[in-house]
């Protein structure tokens, strides 16, 4: 269900230009970004299609935040092209991205902890009723809609009146995902949604990432964790020091290869060698050196 009247202007606006053939909604072609003399991102190719999860992996400082900021309208690219629905764009504010249906769920979630769940669901896009100047918040409708939308995504909460701050981190992520879906996002950018979560909670969030994908959204899932990425990903892009080191579809890369790539095969092999010299450190569980340094196929450009 999508919003009709009275939902304000802050949610992502549903576009009626959904590509029918699974073609790219968002595409970066040789894109890059320099902050003054610092080149944070260079030569990056990324394709986001409806109904697919594109995972962007990378260690600290790899350029993940810079990439998100370009797509979500916080920063502009300084190299290459950024296309939405095959048309080159240059967003100047996050509002431009939202207008194209690109919603970002940041790690801090921008919620008001003491406000009820339903109130946070509509924060900044409240439903109202009655004519001006007697217009008031339509509390009943907001509660009912939030409840319906959360259930549609398979999220069942005991009480929507409870302050959102009392939910677990995973539940809050799920509410944010359901909210973006309701407000008509076509592309959902998730900034390390499982980073601060335990195993069970991460599983719950991964389930809703899959639910958003099944509802036809293109998802960009930013993560450090190759295991989480592999559970839901259709395509994997690994950034290292601002460049894209690997771009491969699920068929082209195994979890083991992805993990080795993320770990930085050569560095980990060197670390294993060093750790082997330290008494009391068991290096048996680490992969063999030849596995760590084995090259992984990089998909040809445009095969995303």
Under the rule (CB under 6 A), what is the footprint of ligand ATP?
A: 35, 38, 40, 58, 60-66
Closest contact distance (angstroms) between CB of 77 and ligand ATP is 13
Neighbouring residues of 245: CB distance < 8 A, sequence distance ≥ 6: 238, 239, 261, 298
Structure tokens at 138: 């339509």
Distance CA 56, CA 247 (A): 9
Which of 70, 164 has the CB closer to ligand ATP?
A: 70
Closest contact distance (angstroms) between CB of 250 and ligand ATP is 23
Closest contact distance (angstroms) between CB of 231 and ligand ATP is 20
Which of 74, 294 has the CB closer to ligand ATP?
A: 74
Which of 196, 297 has the CB closer to ligand ATP?
A: 196
Which of 64, 186 has the CB closer to ligand ATP?
A: 64
What size, in residues, is the chain? 304
Which of 33, 235 has the CB closer to ligand ATP?
A: 33
Rounded alpha-carbon distances, angstroms, from residue 68 to 45, 47, 62, 222, 284? 13, 13, 12, 9, 37
Closest contact distance (angstroms) between CB of 209 and ligand ATP is 19
Closest contact distance (angstroms) between CB of 69 and ligand ATP is 8
φ, ψ of residue 82 to 5 degrees: the values are -130, 120
Contacts of the segment 262-266: beta carbons below 8 A, 24+ positions apart? 262/57, 262/58, 262/59, 262/224, 262/226, 262/238, 263/292, 264/59, 264/240, 265/292, 265/293, 265/294, 266/292, 266/293
235-240 and 53-58 strand pairing: parallel
Which of 60, 277 has the CB closer to ligand ATP?
A: 60
Distance CA 205, CA 109 (A): 14
Distance CA 156, CA 146 (A): 11
Closest contact distance (angstroms) between CB of 95 and ligand ATP is 21
Query: What residues does 218 pair with on adjacent strands?
Result: 187
Which of 11, 32 has the CB closer to ligand ATP?
A: 32
Which of 59, 147 has the CB closer to ligand ATP?
A: 59
- Alpha-helical runs (H) found in the chain: 64-71, 94-99, 117-121, 139-152, 169-182, 199-214, 226-232, 255-263, 265-276, 289-293
Closest contact distance (angstroms) between CB of 108 and ligand ATP is 13
Closest contact distance (angstroms) between CB of 65 and ligand ATP is 3
């Amino acid at each position: 269900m999508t919003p009709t009247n009275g939902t304000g202007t802050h949610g992502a606006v549903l576009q009626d230009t959904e590509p029918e053939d699974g073609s790219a909604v968002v595409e970066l072609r040789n894109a890059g970004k320099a902050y003054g003399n610092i080149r944070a991102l260079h030569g990056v190719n990324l394709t986001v299609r409806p109904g697919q999860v594109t995972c962007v992996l990378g260690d600290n400082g790899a350029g993940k935040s810079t990439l998100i900021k370009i797509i979500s309208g916080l920063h502009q690219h300084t190299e290459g092209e950024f296309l939405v629905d095959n048309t080159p764009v240059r967003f100047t504010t996050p509002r431009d991205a939202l207008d194209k249906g690109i919603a970002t769920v940041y790690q801090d979630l921008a919620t008001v902890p003491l406000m009820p769940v339903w109130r946070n669901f509509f924060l900044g896009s409240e439903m109202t009723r009655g004519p001006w100047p007697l217009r008031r918040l339509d509390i009943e409708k907001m509660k009912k809609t939030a409840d319906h939308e959360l259930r549609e995504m398979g999220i069942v909460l005991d009480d929507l009146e409870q302050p959102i701050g009392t939910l677990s981190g995973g539940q809050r992520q799920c509410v944010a995902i359901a909210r973006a879906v309701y407000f008509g996002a076509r592309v959902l950018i998730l900034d390390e949604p499982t980073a601060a979560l335990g195993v069970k909670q991460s599983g719950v969030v991964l389930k809703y990432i899959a639910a958003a994908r099944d509802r036809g959204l293109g998802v960009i899932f930013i993560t450090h964790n190759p295991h989480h990425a592999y559970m839901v990903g259709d395509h994997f892009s690994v950034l290292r020091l601002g460049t894209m080191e690997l771009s491969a579809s699920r068929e082209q890369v195994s979890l083991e290869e992805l993990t080795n790539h993320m770990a930085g095969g050569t560095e980990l092999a060197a670390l294993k060698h060093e750790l082997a010299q330290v008494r009391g450190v068991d290096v048996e569980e680490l992969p063999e050196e030849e596995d760590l340094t084995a090259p992984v196929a990089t998909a040809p450009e445009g095969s995303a």
